[in-house]
Amino acid sequence: MNSILLKYIPAIISVLFFFTSCEKDPADIVPEPEPALSYLSAVNSTNEVFLTFLFYNPSDLTSPEQYENVTINVTPLYPLDSFPKIVTINFDDSGVLCPDSVIRKGKMICRLNSPWNVLPSKSDITFENFYFDDNKIDGLFSFSSEQLNDSIYIDYNILNGIVTKGNSDSVTFNMNMTICTTSIRNERSLNPFSWHSCKLNNFSGSDFNDKPFGVSISKQIFFDNLCNNGELTAGEIHITPDASTDFSANFGNGECDHSITIIFNGNSIPVSF
């Protein structure tokens, strides 16, 4: 037996050498951009939910409303000053083409703890088969707003958020992020508004490849409403994939270039989105 084993040792060593020699040098390893793109998708979807809520909530809570094929019901109607109130925003299941050229369908169920346009305010939102274009949204989305000096602070808390695209790729995430804005108005609008992060961001989730990752903001991020109808254009996030080497994604210095830069091992790799 020993002589047979000795006979095959050179072959075994050559096979092992073949496989190990094919491994990439650590300096040549480039992390996959999916976690950064998944984070971007989660932030954009959070913005979308907030703008939909802002636009379709009734200006008062005194009666049901019908707004261009969108039915809005308020319960309980009386007494008028009682809270919480449940506002159900019902888009036709065949889809409603909204003023921002986005097709929405399904339901948003909003729990208002105070009038939505009186600050400070807090609202919780859940969904029933809610889509914007071909993106399905689910989870518990909470929004708290307050005004400090000339800025409005909006605190996003997302629990078990899910964004599923038309090709069935999905992002799951939990998020806590506070943004500051001076451009948002109390009137209803679907137009994106510019903001920047103003408190620590906690984000964990699974990316489009179903791999877990976490995010922290290492440089304040900025959202520009004039860039491609609203995009992150500046700042940097630090990404920690599960069982993998961490890296950073830089959104630039304000350029509207529809790209991010992956920073890893001293290398910078541009990625378009």
Query: From residue 263, how far is each of 39, 203, 204 by CA, in Å?
Result: 16, 19, 20
In a domain, 234, yes or no: yes
Q: Count of domains in the chain?
A: 1
CB 158 within 8 A of CB 185: no
Q: Which one-letter DSSP state was computed for residue 22?
A: T
In a domain, 20, yes or no: no
pLDDT of residue 237: 95
In a domain, 177, yes or no: yes
In a domain, 246, yes or no: yes
Residues 6 or more apart whose Cβ sits within 8 Å of residue 152: 119, 145, 146, 180, 181, 182, 184
pLDDT of residue 65: 78
CB 258 within 8 A of CB 26: no
pLDDT of residue 150: 79
Per-block average pLDDT, block size 10, for the chain (273 residues)?
A: 41 38 54 92 94 86 78 87 91 93 96 85 96 96 90 94 93 96 74 89 92 94 91 94 89 91 90 86
In a domain, 4, yes or no: no
- Segment 155-181, tens digit of pLDDT: 999 999 999 998 899 999 999 999 999
CB 139 within 8 A of CB 147: no
pLDDT of residue 66: 80
pLDDT of residue 29: 65
pLDDT of residue 31: 84
In a domain, 40, yes or no: yes
In a domain, 8, yes or no: no
163 membership: H or E segment, kind and range: strand 151-164
In a domain, 70, yes or no: yes
Query: How far apart, in whole angstroms, are the C-alpha atoms of residue 155 and residue 123?
Result: 11
Query: How far apart, in whole angstroms, are the C-alpha atoms of residue 46 and residue 158?
Result: 8
pLDDT of residue 189: 81
Query: From residue 160, how far is each of 75, 125, 141, 205, 210 by CA, in Å?
Result: 26, 12, 9, 9, 14
Q: Structural domain of residue 56, as residue ranges? A: 30-272
Query: How far apart, in whole angstroms, are the C-alpha atoms of residue 172 and residue 162?
Result: 4
Query: From residue 17, how far is each of 21, 36, 226 by CA, in Å?
Result: 6, 35, 55
